[in-house]
């Protein structure tokens, strides 16, 4: 009995946070350069909610200060992407130009990202 429970848990755990692969949406905490893939149809109106948890400081030799994280939604094959700079919490709408596989990527920090 315990062996079957472990196997079932091992099979489901790698999909945690990747509900977009299952046709649901995205609800994940992403750190710098991490991404989650999801599928969306052409013309779909998506609601993106972002709550910044931490903003990474640039390298010590950089002459800039960072006050936001970048959240980018991009198509896997087409040359289409939309990037938003988010300082705190924000919700915005995105219209998908090309159907198929997409990914959402966080740049320069850690943020909770939800796409419906």
- Among 49, 56, 73, 66, residue whose Cα is nearest residue 109: 56
What's the pLDDT score for residue 24?
58
What's the pLDDT score for residue 4?
45
- Average pLDDT over the chain, rounded to whole? 82
pLDDT at 11 over 60: no
pTM attached to this predicted model: 0.75
Write out the two tokens for 51.
């709550």
Domains and CATH numbers, the chain: 2-115 (2.60.120)
72 vs 67: CA distance, rounded Å: 16
Confidence bin at 59 (pLDDT 50/70/90): confident
What's the pLDDT score for residue 5?
41
């Amino acid at each position: 009995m315990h062996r079957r429970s472990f196997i079932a848990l091992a099979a489901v755990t790698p999909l945690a946070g990747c509900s977009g692969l299952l046709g649901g949406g995205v609800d994940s905490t992403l750190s710098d350069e991490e991404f989650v893939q999801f599928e969306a149809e052409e013309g779909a109106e998506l609601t993106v909610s972002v709550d910044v948890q931490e903003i990474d400081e640039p390298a010590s030799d950089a002459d800039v200060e960072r006050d936001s994280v970048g959240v980018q939604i991009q198509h896997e094959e087409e040359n289409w992407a939309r990037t938003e700079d988010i300082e705190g919490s924000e919700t915005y709408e995105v219209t998908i130009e090309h159907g198929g596989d997409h990914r959402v990527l966080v740049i320069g920090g850690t943020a909770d990202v939800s796409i419906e």
